[in-house]
Each structure stands twice: as structure tokens, then as C-alpha cells.
Structure 1
């Protein structure tokens, strides 16, 4: 009787281990691919403008079930502010001065939480711009191609939220709007 009981316990334990191991979630380190694009867009009394960079770096711990994305445990993306370029040197220099890039060289986003499923998610985290950190929440679209994951989204905010005075030019006759949009298309790949 004791032997049969022992065999049943062994079978139950083996079954439980097989069942649990078939649904194992792994944390996989991912890094930002060099093709990723970050953009800050805004307007002024003269024209709309965009400043774009493909020089961001970043890494995160992604939760995967097999090859399927299930979530993000941690994520941090950093961008050297002076890699943002508009194509107009005067606009770039005014922006760097407003951002005080000599003192605050980087723009940083740190993810706190991501919720959703399929291709639609909501991200919550902190942006640090010009030395000021503010919480943000915005929708994100995710696509997966093989092991690579691409996240696209945008966040509307104001320069003054980060204690940045909107730049002016031509003796104050051209004024930058306070409202800006931070947008991104970031591709993450498994670390090698």
C-alpha cells in the first residue's frame, strides 16, 4: 500500500513539473538596435520643426514565453541631446541652449510599467529632460518579427513641464511653442 502511494505521489510530482515547465516565462536581455529613431516635434510663430536622432542606446529585461513577448520587467533608453538634429544649425543651437546640454547632456526614459496584449500596450514611466524628471503615460504599438520587437508611440507634453523656457530667435520675434511631441520607433533585439 505504501509503495503504491509513493508511486502515485511521484507521478503527480512529475506531471506537475512537466506542466509548469511547459509554461515557463524567461527574462531575456534586449538591447536597442541602431536603426531606432527618436524625434521631438513642435511649432513656432514661423514654422513647425522636427529634431531627429538615431543615436539612442537602451536595454531592458523582457519577459518571454518561448519566443512570444509577454511583458517588460525593466527598460531604460538614453539619448544624448545634441544628437537631435533638425537640419538647421541655428534651430539646433537654440534648442541645445534651452535644454542646457552643457549641464544636462542626456534625455532618458525609464519604463515603470507596461500593460496590454497583442499589439496594443500602455506604457508608464519617467522622462528626464534637462535634468527634470516627470511621469508619463502613453499608448504603444508593438510588432514582433522573429526575435526582434519594435515599439512605436508618441507622448504630448510641454517644454515648461521640464522647466525649459521655449526658445526665441530674431530678438524675440520668433517664438517656439510650449507644446511638443516626443515620438519614437524603437527596435529591440536579444543581446548576444
Structure 2
């Protein structure tokens, strides 16, 4: 029995030592203040943009040699009513269409990210108006010190999330179904 332990111990020790750098490389990050989240769309009258600079998010990233290798998990969410267009009527129509009394939050949950350097492809789920749908889109990643900035956009349709495009002025102004969700978010390590 003692002989067997002597033979197995170096193997177990090697496995523990070899996994130690991987465990250290995984770092928890949080969303830095003032992210840029935007939804662009149009109507029969004019184009419109709704933005928010308030969101929350967390990620677990693998960084080796001060370079992003992978992201184990990431979630970014914003209060639906934090989106503002600068026009109260447009905002109210949007909140009604999103049913913000029941669906307080818009969320993206990362499922997978692939790529290297500054070019990545993200796959995950958007939850908008209480409906969750898969999404895949390119993401540009830049680094400043120990912070990572992610920038990209995703084209979709309101009806994909069971949202009826809003109308105004007795139906004479109709919102287009197509929208573009854009983001520029920076994550910093949690100290």
C-alpha cells in the first residue's frame, strides 16, 4: 500500500501543479461605469435611437500573459426604462411595446466566444420583452492595461421577440420591424 502511494503521489502532485496557472488565469470582471448601449430603428416618419449609459455586468475571463484567451461566462443587463430617445412620446410607446411593467430588464448572456487578437465572434442569448432568442455577432476587443473593451452590434427584428412594432397618430406612423442593437462596454477586474 505504501509503495502504491509513493508511485501515485508524484502524479497527483504534477496534475495539481500543472492546473494551478489555469486556475489563477481565470479572473472575475465587472462592467465599468458608463457603458454605451444603443438601439437604432426607424419609422414611416423618421429614424430613432434609444440609448442608455447604465447597465450592470459580470464576466469570468481567462487572461494569459496580459492577453485575453477566452471568456468563461458573461452577462450584461440594463433596465428597459433606462433606454431614452429624448422624446417622451417615443419612449412611452417603446416601454408599452416592451411591456416594461412585467419585463423590467434587457439582458445578454454569453454562451460562447471564439477568435483571437481583437476579432471575436460572440454567441449567446438576448432576453427582450421577456422573450429569449439566440444571437451571433462579431465583437471587436481592445485592451487598456487590465481593462477590456468590447464593441459590436446585432441586427434583429422586434417581431423576433414577440414585440408588435408600435404605431402613433392613429396608426399613420408605423415603427419599422428592423432594429440594430449596438454596444461598447468595458470590463475591469474585481479587486
For normalisation by structure 1, the TM-score amounts to: 0.88
Q: What does residue 175 of structure 1 align with?
A: 174
8 Å CA contact 1:42–1:50 kept in 2: the answer is yes
Query: Could you say which residue in structure 1 is the equivalent of 2:139?
Result: 140
Per-residue deviation, 1:93: 0.4
Tell me, yes or no, if the aligned pair for 1:58 and 1:76 is still in contact at 8 Å: yes
Closer/same/farther in 2, CA of residues 29 and 23 from structure 1, 3 Å limit: closer
Question: 1:95 maps to what in 2?
Answer: 94
SS at the partner of 1:72?
strand
**2:74 corresponds to which residue?**
75
Q: CA deviation at 1:22?
A: 9.8
For residues 1-80 of structure 1, the aligned pairs below 5 Å read 20=18, 24=22, 26-80=25-79
The 1-side partners of 2:70 and 2:181 are apart by 23
Which segments of structure 1 move beyond 2 Å, counting only runs of 4 or more?
19-25
Distance 2:133 2:19 in 1: 40
Distance (Å, rounded) in 2 between the aligned partners of 1:23 and 1:163: 45
Measure how far apart 1:66 and its partner are: 3.5
The equivalent of 1:124 in structure 2 is 123
Q: For structure 1, which runs of at least 5 residues remain unmatched after alignment? A: 1-9
Q: What is the match of residue 156 of structure 1?
A: 155
**Corresponding residue for residue 106 of structure 2:** 107
* Counterpart-to-counterpart distance in 1, 2:120 and 2:22: 22
Please say if residues 23 and 65 of structure 1, whose CA atoms lie closer than 8 Å, have aligned partners that are also in contact.
no
Report the 3-state secondary structure (helix = DSSP H, G, I; strand = E; otherwise coil) of the residue aligned with 2:97. Answer: helix
Work out the number of aligned pairs and report it: 181
Give yes or no for the alignment of 1:184 onto 2:175: no
Q: Structure 1 residue 21: deviation in Å? A: 7.7
Q: Whole-Å Cα distance in 2 between the matches of residues 105 and 148 of structure 1?
A: 29
Q: Which has the larger radius of gyration?
A: 1
How far does residue 181 in structure 1 lie from its aligned partner after superposition?
Answer: 0.3
Q: Which runs of 5+ in 2 are unaligned?
A: 1-9
Measure the CA separation in 1 of the matches of 2:38 and 2:101: 20
